[in-house]
Amino acid sequence: MSRSFFDHAFAAGPTGPAPDAGWSEPPPRKGFFTDTSICIGCKACEVACKEWNGVPQDGIYELLGSSYDNTGALGASTWRHVAFIEQPVRQADHEGADHDRAVDLGMPSFDKPGDSDGERTEFRWLMSSDVCKHCTNAACLDVCPTGALFRTEFGTVVVQDDICNGCGYCVPACPYGVIERREGEPEVKNVGVAQKCTLCYDRLGAGMTPACAKACPTESIQFGDLDELRERADQRVRQLHESGVADARLYGADPDDGVGGAGAFFLLLDEPETYGLPPDPQASTNDLPAMWKRAGLATLGMLAAAGAAFLGSRR
């Protein structure tokens, strides 16, 4: 048994996911760096994504009632989702603690509710444009039985609509709950087919920037070579820390995390759970090599026992 096969059957090698997928001399891996500290929640990214990719409307005219959000979460018809999080400031519990005060991000100012009567509620808005993470070790791709999901030369993960049979194995495999089969009337595009962000594969092939990043007015969504984006993100975190934003941290940028690092990563101002993100995502196929190894050893043990029993019965 080869340790390299069993232990790394579903993990990308040091050269990156595209060479592992068979691409020879691929271009630098592309990705997104989403800096949520400068997201203004305009949803231009959501609109641009739908326009370019022909994604059907999904909650455009409805509000959830719990926030100004109207799409709720990523899904088959929401490939970019801007979360609106109204967060109370725990000033009474942590009086004087810098990290619990509302962060001045240079946004336009306004009078907070209750300022005039002295009963103001301390809060801040956190806004974040979420998207498929295009994992280095993508479990959705690993479990796809038809090859509909594939790794592109840019290191991204894309669904081929005409090959997907709608089995749905990829849906529970995603640790972020991103990919989903589209539901709706038969005339709706790609009903029954797994759908998610393609990182605008067609635009990348033409040397263009993905539609969401192109439309972002604050450059909260940045697109480029993944290595360069990670350096830029590290600099941004250092800048925020020096400015007193102690809670600023990166999410998905660590190549040693449970998905081998994300192709789309984020700068957050609070714990990942605040944004609806799993704190320690794991590719669901991470344990398969160890399971195969144990199953193989168990099978060999059973065959040895059966052989011994057979030989013993002939004496």
Instruction: Please report, for residues 45, 216, 250, the alpha-carbon distance to residue 82 in angstroms, rounded to integers and kept in the order given.
Output: 8, 12, 18
Average pLDDT, the chain: 86
CA dist., res. 258 & res. 125, Å (int): 29
Instruction: Please report, for residues 11, 45, 164, the alpha-carbon distance to residue 110 in angstroms, rounded to integers and kept in the order given.
Output: 49, 25, 49
Residue 7 falls within a domain, yes or no?
A: no
Cβ atoms of residues 157 and 138 within 8 Å: yes
For the ranges 96-105, 245-254, 256-265, which has the lowest average pLDDT? 96-105
Ligand-binding annotation for 212, yes or no, is yes
User: How confident is residue 116, by pLDDT bands cut at 50, 70 and 90?
Assistant: low
Residue 266 φ/ψ region, left for φ over 0, alpha for ψ in the -120 to 50 degree band, beta for the rest: beta
Ligand-binding annotation for 132, yes or no, is yes
Ligand-binding annotation for 200, yes or no, is yes
Ligand-binding annotation for 49, yes or no, is yes
Write down the pLDDT at residue 286: 78
Residue 112 falls within a domain, yes or no?
A: no
Ligand-binding annotation for 242, yes or no, is no
Residue 181 falls within a domain, yes or no?
A: yes
Cβ atoms of residues 30 and 155 within 8 Å: yes
Ligand-binding annotation for 39, yes or no, is yes
Residue 263 falls within a domain, yes or no?
A: yes
Residue 8 falls within a domain, yes or no?
A: no
Write down the pLDDT at residue 16: 82
E strands, 185-309, are 194-195, 221-225, 249-251, 264-268
- Segments in 180-253 forming alpha helices (H): 201-205, 211-215, 226-242
Ligand-binding annotation for 163, yes or no, is no
Rounded mean pLDDT of 200-229?
Answer: 97
User: How confident is residue 92, by pLDDT bands cut at 50, 70 and 90?
Assistant: very low
Tokens of 177: 């709950």
User: How confident is residue 307, by pLDDT bands cut at 50, 70 and 90?
Assistant: confident
CA dist., res. 25 & res. 106, Å (int): 43
Please count the residues of the chain. Answer: 315
Ligand-binding annotation for 45, yes or no, is yes
Considering the entire predicted model, what is its pTM?
Answer: 0.80
CA dist., res. 20 & res. 190, Å (int): 29
pLDDT at 53 over 70: yes
pLDDT at 184 over 70: yes
Cβ atoms of residues 233 and 218 within 8 Å: no
Ligand-binding annotation for 216, yes or no, is yes
CA dist., res. 143 & res. 37, Å (int): 35
User: How confident is residue 179, by pLDDT bands cut at 50, 70 and 90?
Assistant: very high
Residue 96 falls within a domain, yes or no?
A: no
Residue 109 falls within a domain, yes or no?
A: no
Write down the pLDDT at residue 121: 65
- Domain total for the chain? 1
CATH of the domain at 132: 3.30.70.20
User: How confident is residue 112, by pLDDT bands cut at 50, 70 and 90?
Assistant: low
Residue 94 falls within a domain, yes or no?
A: no
Ligand-binding annotation for 304, yes or no, is no
Residue 174 structural domain:
18-87+120-306
154 contacts: CB under 8 Å, gap ≥ 6: 18, 26, 27, 29, 30, 199, 201, 204
Ligand-binding annotation for 58, yes or no, is no
Helix H or strand E encompassing 86:
strand 80-88
pLDDT in tens, 136-161: 999 999 999 999 999 999 999 999 99
